[in-house]
Amino acid sequence: MSGAILKAEGVGRSFGSLRVLDGLELEASPGEFLGIIGRSGTGKSTLLGILGTHDLEFEGRLELDGRDVKSSTPAGLASMRRDILGYVFQDFHLLPELTALENAILPAVFSGRDAESARNSAIDVMDQLGVRIDSTPTAMLSRGERQRVAVARGLVNRPGVLLADEPSASLDDDNENILFDMLDGLRRRQGFTLIAVVHSRAVLSRADRVLELREGRLRPAERNVPPEGGSAP
């Protein structure tokens, strides 16, 4: 065993005749911050969908905390999603009519935790992120606040790995940097592995490693070259 929290070996994924991932290798250590870059359409979201166990139609092997994903039972997969993985999506995927707390608590409730422990975890992480706990529907919050709610929701089950797919896609570099300030601080305190698709050079300079997705594989990125493409404005 390598001690990796996440390990992908020979991962391939095609959509019809489109070969998106091909022989991809990745190992992430506990607590590591991995930045992923790559032009638009190279398969970054496809990769995060596989790492997050949303997409099981891939070739090759994926291990999360030493457990093989493909050979897992539905109950095993559910427990990996609950105990190992957290997600922050590009467009947040929050429920607009619920409050920040109600949104943040959802993964804890879905994972079957008792109401009080779920609530305490959500309040704790919201506190750390400076998210107000009141009765305002999430739809009424500012974009920055909604983003922090999305981060709180991603961390409520204390995941070993937080997957973030362009969590700052519609923000400028300054605001992306502010978001990653928070994420990085939480990572240092809680010790989760952060695997994030990012654009700004300031953010990438915080990462322990930056990998570029190209021609279906990940390779160490040239740190001096500005990242290309993506959906930055």
The contact set with ligand ADP (CB under 6 A) reads: 15, 18, 20, 38, 40-46
Q: Could you tell me the smallest distance in angstroms from the CB atom of residue 54 to ligand ADP? A: 11
Cβ neighbours, 10 Å, residue 201:
15
Q: Which residue is nearest to Mg ion (CB)?
A: 45
Segment interacting with Mg ion (CB under 5 A) among 36-44, 77-85, 144-152, 208-216: 36-44
Tell me the two tokens of residue 139: 């739809």
Q: Could you tell me the smallest distance in angstroms from the CB atom of residue 96 to ligand ADP? A: 24
**Residue 160 touches which member of Mg ion, ligand ADP, none, C-beta under 5-8 Å by kind:** none
**Residue 35 touches which member of Mg ion, ligand ADP, none, C-beta under 5-8 Å by kind:** none
Q: Are 6 and 22 within 8 A, CB to CB?
A: no
Tell me the two tokens of residue 50: 């596989």
**Residue 40 touches which member of Mg ion, ligand ADP, none, C-beta under 5-8 Å by kind:** ligand ADP
CA 87 to chain centre: 4
Residue 29 lies near Mg ion (rule: CB under 5 A)? no
* Footprint on residues 43-62 left by Mg ion (CB under 5 A): 44-45
Identify which of 99, 97, 181, 169 has the alpha carbon closest to the alpha carbon of residue 132. 99
Residue number, 129 or 218, with CB nearest to Mg ion: 218
Who's near 74: CB < 8 A, 6+ residues apart?
none
Q: Are 161 and 129 within 8 A, CB to CB?
A: no
